[in-house]
Amino acid sequence: MILKQYLVFLIGAILCLCKVSDVIGGATEEQMWAAGNLMRDVCAPKFPKVTKEIADGIREGNLPNEKDPKCYVNCILEMMQTMKKGKFLYEGSLKQVEILMPDHFKEEYRTGLAKCKDAAVGIKNNCDAAYAIFTCLRAEITRFVFP
């Protein structure tokens, strides 16, 4: 089942990235949201307590300080290659910004990532680390986008 979900995500991501060639320097907002929705579709079923309404709230920046929503965010951040095993992947995140973000988002994201790169240092629980990173990025990036 997980392999099937991963395969669906991978095919969708490849299709989205194929369209990136039409845009100089990054994806369009439509492509960015399409890739984000694929990630959401993979992570949401893993955390049944995260309803569509909660996920929509997280998208708007309202992340409940509860286990399942924090772990859902961790799942998304790991799929985005922003986190791995509770560690923030700063260099990988910068690469993702260059590839997947529309040009008008990039500078603010680079700055926000730099300010938040140590937000999860010392936090042992992966979901709590994701919560710390999400909270920091949300505070530092005015046009913060999350699937």
**Would you say residue 76 lies in a domain?**
yes
The burial class, CB within 10 Å (0-12 / 13-18 / 19+), for 88 is: buried
**Would you say residue 122 lies in a domain?**
yes
Cα 102 to chain centroid distance, Å, stands at 15
**Would you say residue 94 lies in a domain?**
yes
The CATH number of whichever domain residue 49 belongs to comes to 1.10.238.20
Q: How many domains does the chain divide into?
A: 1
The pLDDT profile of the chain, 147 residues, written as one tens digit per residue, is 554 454 344 445 444 444 443 444 567 877 777 777 788 999 999 999 999 999 999 999 899 999 999 999 999 999 989 999 999 999 999 998 988 788 989 999 999 999 999 999 999 999 999 999 999 999 999 988 888
Predicted TM-score (pTM) of the model is 0.78
How far apart, in whole angstroms, are the C-alpha atoms of residue 142 and residue 111? Answer: 11
> How does 7-17 read in b/e, with b if 16+ C-beta sit within 10 Å?
eebeebbeebe
> How does 40-54 read in b/e, with b if 16+ C-beta sit within 10 Å?
bebbbeebeebeeeb
**Would you say residue 73 lies in a domain?**
yes
According to the model, what pLDDT value does residue 1 have? 56
Q: How many CA atoms lie within 13 A of 99 on its CB side?
A: 14
Domain housing 110: 29-140
**Would you say residue 12 lies in a domain?**
no
**Would you say residue 60 lies in a domain?**
yes
**Would you say residue 6 lies in a domain?**
no
**Would you say residue 84 lies in a domain?**
yes
According to the model, what pLDDT value does residue 110 have? 96
- The residue whose two tokens read 């991501």 is 13
Distances (CA, A) of 27 to 17, 53, 60, 128, 133: 8, 27, 21, 30, 23
Cβ contact 30:49 at 8 Å: no
